[in-house]
Structure 1
Amino acid sequence: MMNLKTEEIKVIAELPYSWEKIKDKTILVSGGTGFIGTAFVDVIKYRNQKYNENIKVISFSRRGGESSEYLECIKANVKQPLHYEGKIDYIIHLASNTHPEQYAEDPIGTIMTNIYGCDNLLKLAVEKKARFLLASSVEIYGQGTAIPMNEEYCGYIDCNLARSGYNEAKRTCEALTQSYRSVFGVNAVIARFARVFGADKKHDTKAMSQFMDKAVLGEDIILKSKGQQRYSYCYIADAVSGLLKLLLDGQDGEAYNISNDDDGLTLGEYAEYIASLANLKVRYEIENNESVSKATFALLDTHKIKNIGWKPQYSVKDGLKRTYMIKKEQLTNVD
């Protein structure tokens, strides 16, 4: 019987995309051992095994990793100049500090990893004449009034807060990408992800990940705010399918929102639904927290990416249920 994770890989890998564009190509992924990067590699592995597409993935990450037939894992610090002797056709920049507590504890590192990493990978894109895909974030919109936010919207970010370092760094990376297009002619596209969730996200300090971890362990969920914030979310499988769609068909120079179709859950609704999966309760313990985003809502408009043929395969609640089931299975296997 196919498990849920394997089923999702198959669903993404069998989508009617322009896969021929990456047949026999080499794709470099920064952060290839991270949350989105790992899922992306799994899909490419499926395509290679089933369709013999000979797609090679080079993974640059701090941990390195174990190489295999179509995967070359290289231990690399993207903040340092990057070199690779072979050909590279595509570069996907996923490497980034995405943990809120680290935004507060290491705001300088958060900024520098994003900006230096982006600059070094763009330099490599110039050298290799590679197409460049930047993974950006809903955080670039800051606090706003538009419902939903399309790709032309620009909200308010208080640059005098250390927590804003991540938001401003992502904005700078987008500007840097456009500058490399203008000066060096780099072919580039930008993916702006909603809040991505799923079963394989480890050591994550985002509230939504902590809620799920509590539920899987059978512990009541603790919400440290009134839970009135309303956000768009994106299940990991849909994040990867969106990433692939942009890699293959995204227009040079354009940014695209990637989010599930739901109108957005409040953080409280999100917590309550997860609690219901495990027959648990949500406890409200309101406190001040410097690592928490100041945005009270961030709902993304996805018409632009849908116009090039993408659509999510899962609803947020479907994704949450699948995440819970996969994590429970993983916990059982460990026990």
Structure 2
Amino acid sequence: MRSAKKILVTGGAGFIGSHLCEALLSQGNEVYALDNLSTGCLANIENCLLSPHFHFKQADVCDGVPFDEAFDWICHFASPASPDAYRQNPIGTIRVNTEGTSLLLEYARHCQAKVLLASTSEVYGDPEEHPQRENYWGYVNSYGERACYDEGKRCAEALCYAYTHTYGLQVQIIRIFNTYGPRMQATDGRVICNFLEQIVRGEALSIYGSGEQTRSFQYIDDLISAIMLILSREVCTSPMNIGNPEECSIIELAQLLSELTGTKLGFKYRPMPLDDPRRRCPDISLAQKTLGWKPVVSLRDGLLKVILS
């Protein structure tokens, strides 16, 4: 970014939020962060806390914004994001994505801030289109154990649309595809975390279904570089996919991690979870055209960074 800005990051002590706070501080911005620490932790922001330009409050965004500042940007990253976390707290997950988003949009309207909403590839559900483009409406179960997150994010997007078209609020929605890197919670419940934990414990790797279902895994540095580009530009009117189109099956991921860690633990097959997507891969044409961005860290290189961190 060319000039210092005053920026609020909700979920600032989480995996993605903490990396974003560090990047914002490195460019001389005044960074305000809040987090209720339900899935984030203070250890993630211990370096940020040393900066006089970093202001943190432990708070729940559903109770309002505990700062009295006119922000340039509000970056909304507060929400459980892993299946294990949101299954344990479905009501809180819905609330932060509906009530929390509504409160932030209202705050942004009054202080004329721009808003960056961290949405998710899960708005596409178990997609019937591949790869997924931003104009695909999705195939989502609204009455299941994943609905609190999937539909919560879809409602958050709808709220952003309403505020943009009612009040002219400048909002950028990013649909984040599977992201990994340092500071992931070991007990996160997502596949890379699960595999790494099982490797550490010397256990066979759990493969759900046949293992042929696919994901696209994006290293955290690539995601942060895209966000930083967005915060330096005018907002785009469309939601934007941010992910790595390097598609990988779960069985291929397990084999790669076994190779990189030098282990031969074998696989343990389990039933496929309810509503688990069969294929997941972003079309990132819009981000490439709008931002001049594309991911640069390969899955192999990114996994090595995590293993060595």
Q: Deviations over 1:224-261 (max 9, x none)?
A: 33211111221111111112222222634321111124
Alignment partners' CA distance in 2, 1:182 and 1:219: 52
Aligned to 1:244: 228
The CA deviation at 1:219 is: 4.7
Aligned to 2:149: 166
Q: Is the 8 A contact 1:222 1:282 kept in 2?
A: no
2:79 paired with 1:96: yes
Q: Is the 8 A contact 1:272 1:282 kept in 2?
A: no
Q: Is the 8 A contact 2:205 2:268 kept in 1?
A: no
Aligned to 2:279: 297
The CA deviation at 1:59 is: 0.3
Of 37, 47, 61, which residue of structure 1 is paired with 2:27?
Answer: 47
2:151 paired with 1:177: no
Alignment partners' CA distance in 2, 1:46 and 1:307: 26
The CA deviation at 1:217 is: 5.3
Of 60, 64, 74, which residue of structure 1 is paired with 2:57?
Answer: 74
The CA deviation at 1:289 is: 6.3
Aligned to 2:242: 258
Aligned to 1:307: 289
Alignment partners' CA distance in 1, 2:24 and 2:89: 34
Aligned to 1:106: 89
Q: Deviations over 1:260-313 (max 9, x none)?
A: 241x000111111111111113533333465x6521001110011011211212
Describe the SS at the equivalent of 1:286. strand
Q: Deviations over 1:57-83 (max 9, x none)?
A: 000111495463110001211111224
2:131 paired with 1:157: no
Q: Is the 8 A contact 1:221 1:281 kept in 2?
A: no
Aligned to 2:45: none
CA RMSD of aligned residues (A): 1.9
Q: Deviations over 1:144-180 (max 9, x none)?
A: 2222111001221121212222111111000001111
Of 113-122 and 167-176, more deviation after overlay is shown by: 113-122
1:182-261 equivalent positions in 2, closer than 5 A = 182-202=165-185, 203-216=187-200, 219-249=203-233, 251-261=235-245
Aligned to 1:14: none
2:30 paired with 1:56: yes
Structure 2 runs not aligned, ≥5 long: 43-48
Aligned to 2:46: none
Of 143, 146, 149, which residue of structure 1 is paired with 2:126?
Answer: 143
2:297 paired with 1:319: no
2:261 paired with 1:278: yes
Aligned to 1:10: none
The CA deviation at 1:90 is: 0.4
Of 13, 28, 46, which residue of structure 2 is paired with 1:33?
Answer: 13
Return closer, same or farther for 1:250/1:190 CA change in 2, 3 Å cut-off: farther
Q: Is the 8 A contact 2:25 2:31 kept in 1?
A: no
The AA in structure 2 aligned to 1:229 is Q
Describe the SS at the equivalent of 1:42. helix
Task: Give the TM-score normalised by the residue count of structure 2.
Answer: 0.90
2:110 paired with 1:130: no
Report the identity percentage: 29
Q: Is the 8 A contact 2:59 2:66 kept in 1?
A: no
Q: Is the 8 A contact 2:94 2:152 kept in 1?
A: yes
Alignment partners' CA distance in 2, 1:199 and 1:185: 37
Of 169-178 and 223-232, more deviation after overlay is shown by: 223-232
Describe the SS at the equivalent of 2:241. strand
Alignment partners' CA distance in 2, 1:61 and 1:170: 18
Alignment partners' CA distance in 2, 1:115 and 1:281: 45
Q: Is the 8 A contact 1:96 1:114 kept in 2?
A: yes
